[in-house]
Structure 1
């Protein structure tokens, strides 16, 4: 059975162009055209197409409201948004409301045909120019850098003992290193943490829960 398609767009020339394009596809047939939101809903309920090519800027309720209504009342019909808007927020909202695809009107003919076949199979199709928006949503949120992330394990050991009031010699004896090495670690700590004294090192350690 061919894919039964309803074209919903208020521009007659575009509808004629789409109809001519799809006429050449043996596995597709255009069963109707709609010129505004109410016309789209009425013909969708009457014709029950497999796929609706839906302009997001339809007169009346608009494409998003039509998408919401049809996903609730015609769950078996796939909605492929066809729009000039390369807008990430519109893309997210359309997908959230149940659209099966989002394709830009400047897409080449082969892309549109591929998109129709994809959504008719139950797949999600996003125009390549817009996929970055969804990939951005799927990426994990940037984690807040740890206040001690730049410090080495040895520097942390030295910082904790400084905060506890150890002298350089006591730190050296406990860690089995030289006093000069402790002084080097302390200088590195001040440089990395942007502090200028032992007192500020102690305050930093306490404020960040290191003791």
Structure 2
């Protein structure tokens, strides 16, 4: 029996090319297509694909937003992210939200089909070339989470304030504590985060979404 899939990508040529490629042997059938995240979610109300092929960079609603929406819906559709983004950050975010597979668009057709069949069978498939970088990022993420958990509520407040460039006196005034107490908090923060200056602390805060940069 053929595996039914849905393709979501904002480029019509890519959708058409994938459809022609995947249906060539008759073991995969494209039952629906969408050109953006909103259309994808709408069509999933009607169609029930075995596997959803999902791009990340799309207008109106990107792939990561679609993943979050599917999670909120408690959808059981199996998702294979097929993207041109080889940055590990996108992979880590997708894995955190919840995916069944992740393959780059420049992969061989045999690998893409292998991923589809693997996912349809209930297994997970991450393109092998991406696994070392993913493991490294996940290890760093776990280490960072332990460091964040070690911070007190006050230390977290100080970290946020100093990471956006505020001076000790301004932090002290805003938090209604002495400058000496602020300095003590900063020393403790440096020790717990294993950093040596404010810049490194700010980089840590940005990397872990403790503060947002525009």
TM-score range, shorter chain: 0.5 to 0.7
State the partner residue of 2:152: none
Mind listing any 5+ residue stretches in structure 2 that lack a counterpart? 144-214
2:108 equivalent to 1:98? no
1:45 is paired with a residue of what secondary structure? coil
Q: CA deviation at 1:129?
A: 2.2
2:122 equivalent to 1:115? no
Q: CA deviation at 1:85?
A: 0.6
Report the Cα distance in structure 2 between the residues aligned to 1:10 and 1:121, rounded to whole angstroms.
27
State the partner residue of 2:88: 88
Report the Cα distance in structure 2 between the residues aligned to 1:25 and 1:73, rounded to whole angstroms.
33
2:21 equivalent to 1:25? no
Report the Cα distance in structure 2 between the residues aligned to 1:81 and 1:100, rounded to whole angstroms.
8
Report the Cα distance in structure 1 between the residues aligned to 2:71 and 2:6, rounded to whole angstroms.
15
Normalised by the size of structure 2, how large is the TM-score? 0.62
Which has the larger Rg?
1
Report the Cα distance in structure 2 between the residues aligned to 1:23 and 1:108, rounded to whole angstroms.
15
Find runs of 4+ consecutive structure 1 residues off by over 6 angstroms. Answer: none
Q: CA deviation at 1:39?
A: 0.6
Rate the CA distance shift 1:3–1:72 in 2: closer, same or farther, 3 A.
farther
State the partner residue of 1:52: 52
Q: CA deviation at 1:130?
A: 1.1
Report the Cα distance in structure 2 between the residues aligned to 1:71 and 1:31, rounded to whole angstroms.
22
State the partner residue of 2:135: 135
Rate the CA distance shift 1:48–1:74 in 2: closer, same or farther, 3 A.
farther
Report the Cα distance in structure 2 between the residues aligned to 1:101 and 1:33, rounded to whole angstroms.
19
Report the Cα distance in structure 2 between the residues aligned to 1:20 and 1:35, rounded to whole angstroms.
17
Mind listing any 5+ residue stretches in structure 1 that lack a counterpart? 142-211
Q: CA deviation at 1:50?
A: 1.1
State the partner residue of 1:43: 43
